Structure 1
């Protein structure tokens, strides 16, 4: 992590905007030398970071040195961001009339603007240049000490792993069949498909084994088996994970039984557990079903019994299949001894076959024969774990020579004393083979809860908000993020992909062991906490930089959260009915006032905590890149204080159903790359000024007039002013289309086009008028929620 931050800061010092900062501060005596000293220190430290990253697992002193460097690096990054923002404000101006102007004001105007805006920044009432000089000197003192200490640890200079070229689609690993499990698969199928179909007893079969053995993969294979789909009226999949939350499980069962999703599925969150159980009981009546409960952990049997009783009205021959690491859970779930199937380790030969299938994909047969002896020795290191074999195969796929394979076999990592050593050692080998910017991206995945389905594009946007993909003025950050994502996918760090036609990945999951591994690497930087009614509501963050907080049921907002000052990500989500007695109109603003370093703020579905009013304190978060208010249905307007968020890249307002307008001050947010208003039913139009946000790459839920070029409303021709758009989701107003105006939209770069027509215009006419690229993914919807 430290190397990635230092590399990023070194790059920042080379940018035009920072060069301008250096010009400004050199008017102060001695600062020019301080800036050079800062660059020199960073370069000296950067040369040994790769070696330090690897040695930290065995040398506690090196780890402490890296921790100190990481803290200093974060502070440097914040300082540079403040300086860059101040200079950008001078260049672009801060008054309402010139908010989107890119013309350079006069020197006197610079000073006037800067003076007016200093109240937004931590260096309030201090001369800007003097503040910068003091910060540089302070940071250099810390870096001087860190640079000197590195010589104690005999750290060596190492070549950095090169950033990858874009992987070919054939490199993605998704083995559709499972090797070495045919006997177990047949045994499970005989339990599920055989037996007495007239029996009223619902039998429970449990698959038991520790992490990485392939329980979930085998259960998925059974789920998709044609004979299973034909035999049962309904086949349901529920991922249970760490805590057996009966309401969460009940909701997932209803979604499968009644085929519901989207806003209707969210409505289930508002129902009581009893209502959900009654609905399940009605839905299963007379149906033969198979319920697969994946990854069940040890919890009270009472929670399961309250659910199990609802299945009694199901048809005879219904079955439940459980995967778990604990044999006691199998007993708790109702499996008899004969119904517990223990998944054993694979043999070395099967591990070699798995490794071969991935490592030699697309290669000539001669390669496998040349590397077979050493490859079999590596396969033996998998200790019978298919996840380890898959991970090592994905690593070796990019190693062509015998020497490179020998380096993997002889790596010191195999000798480390690691938590979960059998699986972590292969994963660590793959991790250290990643380029440093991608390592940082991988660890950030811990921000999501375990066993959750991720949206690939959402993850890429969050990487962007943290600065992991480069500086925000780079025109191609989305492509860089996609390359990083594809690279991690090709190394088997992700799985269970949902693909769009053309090969683009839409959604994915992380294996729970890989999630544990990412958390092991991230240490205390990430805190993920699910708060239930009986949980302690005091949260201590200490060195944490990223917090995910999920509040269930009627639980109050945490009474205190200490250590928020260093947070860079804050995600607060609410699940379940709220009665309003736990309002945090005081608590949340207090937290935001302290969290001035935030890059990402996600308040999805948290409106019950702040009602109709978006906290105005958000406007003070000058580092903020990503703001999500999805599902905050009570919000009616956005406060003008948000116009101070000059660094904002993404504004997500999806399903803010009562939001009445996008304010004209939005044009001040000159760095915006994404606006999302899908499902904002009270929104009648976009303001004309949206056409001036020329950094936009994604417009999701944009409302456009097709019948004319309106002077006040955003019209279809205005899209032509946004040259970088690649994702365009439109709600089109009007009963006719002005073809001449539509041609001005110039959607030449569009890859993803969604259209919701509210008037009488036919699909074929809008497509003919817009003339998107032939390879664009074009879809029509009849609901504003999906555009």
Structure 2
């Protein structure tokens, strides 16, 4: 986990030291050198992190060192995010005011602002970030020097220790009446807390013949200690390789499947999902089971998207009220009514550093509770209100407060199944780092934000089931990073024949998304459903869509309604032979 986090920070550092953003660094004296020192320190530390992750089980000091490194890495990631956001704001100003060097442009702006006002918000923010960079560099210097104390070895390759094969000669089908005892022992091995529970089990283990050995597997070290094992007798299993995780995942996903072509078609996405398991067999089995009923690339890609961010760190599965360590988690899963009450009561310690929040269960989360959350948990990267939407009720969200616009680090937002959610605040368009927005089955949603074009990094926009939408905003056509757009209402012609005759391309000048606005969305993958709106097809506008350039698009889905109009549209779009066409017979919803 630590190595992945450090590597992610190094990648982010590389993005802010390119030629363009380096001009922004010049505005603050000394920051350029600080960033170079940071990059050098992180690269040196990355070489010894694997050794540290092994030694933390036998040396608590190394574990504390790793925790300090993780915290500094998180802090650095936050600062880099803010830096990139500031740069995008300056870049937008530059685009609006003409082509000139960003450094010259910003200097002009700074002089103008300081001549009129006592301060500038953007310039003050730059200096504030520079101070944070310096503070983080000092902490990282200390961590880098401290690593020498633990004699951490440089690793170029992680060697996987050979694991002894285990077997059993018991015919389980012939055992009866032992389920209660078995369940109790399993429960204890997963983390029994009372010493008196261990006595009968420990006594049983001590009755073996001389020379015999008992192998106990558990996920908790205190369990091994309770059974009388010394540290030298404990063997900590290493994480599985990505290849082994893929083997487990594919075995679960394709069980009973004879179609080799299907497996080959999904293998590339499957291997990416396997990497997200971070060597955890339980994660590979769970995701494999989830993928078993999913047969399309679109569905597999959705599961991959669900596994974004740094979820490889242990999720806190207990209630936040159980212990202070749980309440200080960077990643939190709320699953019971009491959990949501705790969230509403502001009693989660360290919520300011929360990175991921996943909710499970059929509870209603009020706008007031979300408002408190958004004000405090400003470093959230992942916010998922419907992780297990296919298995149980998701959390009901009726209102999204304006404060969501402050979550500038947010990458993943899942609001699926929020059936009573009628609108999204315009402030959501301030989330310039947002990559994934899921609004599946938000059937009460009446409109998308007008400023959606500001979501410059958005890659996945899912709106299937948003039957209350009357139109899609034109700004979607400017989201050139989009990989998935599962559904869109596109104007293909004007309702007024008189307007159509006067101005042939009048539909391109409305506020609604038109078919030609697909022109620059060349990264679209998978399947696209288009509901054609308007009268006769405007051929000029349809050709502007340039669907023949969307080489990653596999299928185009159209409603089975006015076939003359649909045929007109297909002919005007000039579709490539490789693009499959599907017709949807359900025309009761748009």
Measure, in 1, the Cα distance between the counterparts of 2:553 and 2:434.
23
Name stretches of at least 5 consecutive residues in structure 1 with no aligned partner.
117-122, 163-178, 189-204, 212-296, 299-323, 328-380, 386-414, 446-451, 454-477
Conserved? CA contact 2:51–2:153, under 8 Å: yes
Corresponding residue for residue 355 of structure 1: none
* Structure 1 residues 696 and 382: CA distance shift in structure 2, 3 A: farther
Q: Is 1:5 matched up with 2:2?
A: no
SS in 1 for 2:531: strand
Measure, in 1, the Cα distance between the counterparts of 2:473 and 2:303.
38
Q: Deviations over 1:736-787 (max 9, x none)?
A: 6556644543333244435251632377776666565656575444458999
* Structure 1 residues 697 and 60: CA distance shift in structure 2, 3 A: same
Corresponding residue for residue 385 of structure 2: 603
Corresponding residue for residue 733 of structure 1: 532
Corresponding residue for residue 561 of structure 1: 348
Aligned residue among 669, 681, 687 for 2:467: 681
Aligned residue among 279, 293, 313 for 1:522: 313
Measure, in 2, the Cα distance between the counterparts of 1:637 and 1:114.
41
**Which is bigger in relative contact order (C-alpha 8 A, separation at least 6)?**
1
* Structure 1 residues 591 and 773: CA distance shift in structure 2, 3 A: same
Conserved? CA contact 1:698–1:726, under 8 Å: yes
* Structure 1 residues 38 and 506: CA distance shift in structure 2, 3 A: closer
Q: Deviations over 1:461-511 (max 9, x none)?
A: xxxxxxxxxxxxxxxxx999764225578987343342766888739999x
Conserved? CA contact 2:561–2:587, under 8 Å: no
Deviation at 1:126, TM superposition (A): 6.8
Measure, in 1, the Cα distance between the counterparts of 2:466 and 2:111.
36
The 5-angstrom pairing of residues 119-138 of structure 1 reads 127-138=124-135
Measure, in 1, the Cα distance between the counterparts of 2:381 and 2:80.
14
Measure, in 2, the Cα distance between the counterparts of 1:44 and 1:65.
15
Measure, in 2, the Cα distance between the counterparts of 1:89 and 1:210.
63
Corresponding residue for residue 549 of structure 1: 334
Deviates more, 1:45-54 or 1:553-562: 553-562
SS in 2 for 1:150: helix
SS in 2 for 1:127: helix
Q: Calculate the TM-score normalised by the size of structure 2.
A: 0.68
* Structure 1 residues 434 and 107: CA distance shift in structure 2, 3 A: same
Deviation at 1:154, TM superposition (A): 1.3
SS in 1 for 2:367: coil
Q: Deviations over 1:234-282 (max 9, x none)?
A: xxxxxxxxxxxxxxxxxxxxxxxxxxxxxxxxxxxxxxxxxxxxxxxxx
SS in 1 for 2:485: strand
Q: Is 1:50 matched up with 2:47?
A: no
Q: Calculate the TM-score normalised by the size of structure 1.
A: 0.52
Corresponding residue for residue 151 of structure 2: 154
Deviation at 1:601, TM superposition (A): 1.7
Deviation at 1:59, TM superposition (A): 2.0
Q: Is 1:753 matched up with 2:555?
A: yes
Corresponding residue for residue 203 of structure 2: none
* Structure 1 residues 24 and 210: CA distance shift in structure 2, 3 A: farther
Q: Deviations over 1:420-464 (max 9, x none)?
A: x6xx73xx252xx459xx99x9xxx9xxxxxx99xxxxxxxxxxx
Corresponding residue for residue 191 of structure 2: none
Deviation at 1:142, TM superposition (A): 0.8
Measure, in 2, the Cα distance between the counterparts of 1:553 and 1:46.
40
Deviation at 1:587, TM superposition (A): 2.7
Measure, in 2, the Cα distance between the counterparts of 1:55 and 1:770.
61
Conserved? CA contact 1:17–1:84, under 8 Å: no
Q: Deviations over 1:190-239 (max 9, x none)?
A: xxxxxxxxxxxxxxx9995999xxxxxxxxxxxxxxxxxxxxxxxxxxxx
Measure, in 1, the Cα distance between the counterparts of 2:408 and 2:532.
36
Deviation at 1:646, TM superposition (A): 1.4
Deviates more, 1:629-638 or 1:105-114: 105-114
Measure, in 1, the Cα distance between the counterparts of 2:465 and 2:341.
28
Measure, in 1, the Cα distance between the counterparts of 2:107 and 2:563.
49
Name stretches of at least 5 consecutive residues in structure 2 with no aligned partner.
114-119, 160-166, 189-212, 218-230, 254-265, 495-504
Aligned alpha-carbon RMSD (Å): 5.1
SS in 2 for 1:84: helix
Corresponding residue for residue 485 of structure 1: 273
Alignment coverage as a number of residue pairs: 490
Measure, in 1, the Cα distance between the counterparts of 2:70 and 2:438.
31
* Structure 1 residues 785 and 130: CA distance shift in structure 2, 3 A: farther
Q: Deviations over 1:48-76 (max 9, x none)?
A: 12222222222222111111111111111
* Structure 1 residues 737 and 210: CA distance shift in structure 2, 3 A: farther
Deviation at 1:567, TM superposition (A): 0.9
